[in-house]
Amino acid sequence: MNHHFKSLDSTTARLVLQFTEPYFPWKRPTIVRLHFNAKGIAIPSIGAVLGRDPGEHSAMILDVRQRDLVIVYSKIRKGVGHCTFRFYRVTDDWDLALIEPDRGRLRTDGYDHLIEVTDLHQERQVDSCFETLRDFLAESHPEWLQEILERQVAHWRAHKHEQFLRLAPSRATAAEFAACFSKYPLLALANFKSRLSKRQIRSCVRRSLRGGVMYAFDELSTAQVVKAERECPGEMIRHAADRLPDAALRRCSKMAPYTAFECRLSMPPARQATVLSVAYPYYTLLYQGISETALAEEIIDSVTHHPEEWLHYHGHDFGTLFLALRHHLGLTIAPSRLLEMLHRMAEEHRPLLDRYLASRM
């Protein structure tokens, strides 16, 4: 079976496998990377399959690491179940080694004994990230793969025009560009902004506020920015957080706390505190018994160095803040740690914390 690796960084590569089994609409070939997460639970990452056409080979695409377990499976007959499986190991020199597992052990132990990689963060696969797949299609490839990709692009162009414009914009004709501007304003901003006039950009923003936030924030009016806080707060955080005043960032964080929490580490420390002070109450189910976790340390450090952000959202009172942390997260800060925070805190904020400590004596 033809396969190809393209290095992405020192630890990750993009694997492409040529799938040669006969085409049937119900066959549904799938390629999966299995790894352990930080809790030791087996997690699947599903790749993309392109070029599924009668009488033709297709391509399976998956981002992998060395020592990964890769599983390729497909149905062998129509209906539930009845799949054929192939197991591969990604070798240390970036090749594929076929594995012949003990079937009896698979039935009792599952796949866990075949997994050798633990990842703290799951890889985003090409099928879950349009930008990655778009860039992949624009790269040069081996001849066998290029033929498959050309067929896939031609299929999108004929049958799924929005998908074509999203994933292969460099191939769009002048007429297709005009159709994109008319029908798909977000895609026009994402892929053809340099070809749009100011008037056309503003037209796209009016028809796709989300696209405007993501790709043309400078063209938004004050009223549109206020509207975007309500309608697409997640995009405001992901794409325009550095353009928002603190009050707007707090409002967006309250509307989209998960996005705020996920994006906080890409922000300067003071803005991390702004986001964290708003978003933390929404994670009760994820962070039970948090007092010894890294997040607890992050919160303590954030309160120490940026207390003004935390106090702003908690009535300018440390007692209210610490009560909320205990209520939402089960986080109780020991008196000795509070004294340490006091000594590390900027002098202008110490009287409030000192007053709180005195009230606890």
pLDDT tens for 125-135 read: 877 677 888 88
* Mean pLDDT, rounded, for 168-178: 94
Domain ranges of the chain: 3-125, 284-361
C-alpha angle with apex 262: 261 to 268, nearest 5 degrees? Answer: 75
pLDDT at residue 290 is higher than 60: no
Q: Which residue has the higher pLDDT, 37 or 156?
A: 156
Q: Please state which CATH class domain 3-125 belongs to.
A: mainly beta
pLDDT at residue 288 is higher than 70: no
Q: What was the pLDDT predicted at 40?
A: 85
φ and ψ at 127, to 5 degrees? -80, -10
Q: What was the pLDDT predicted at 76?
A: 85
Report the greatest alpha carbon distance in the chain.
Answer: 80
pLDDT at residue 70 is higher than 90: yes
Burial-class residue 346 by CB neighbours within 10 Å (0-12, 13-18, 19+): exposed
Q: What was the pLDDT predicted at 293?
A: 79
Worst-scoring range by mean pLDDT, 104-118, 190-204, 229-243, 278-292?
278-292
Q: What was the pLDDT predicted at 289?
A: 47
pTM as predicted: 0.77
Q: Which residue has the higher pLDDT, 323 or 292?
A: 323
Q: What was the pLDDT predicted at 218?
A: 95
Burial-class residue 211 by CB neighbours within 10 Å (0-12, 13-18, 19+): buried
Question: How far is residue 243 from each of residues 110, 117, 221, 265, measured CA to CA in Å?
Answer: 49, 39, 13, 16
Q: Look over the chain and give the mean of its residue pLDDT values, rounded to a whole number.
A: 91
Q: What was the pLDDT predicted at 284?
A: 65
Q: What was the pLDDT predicted at 292?
A: 58
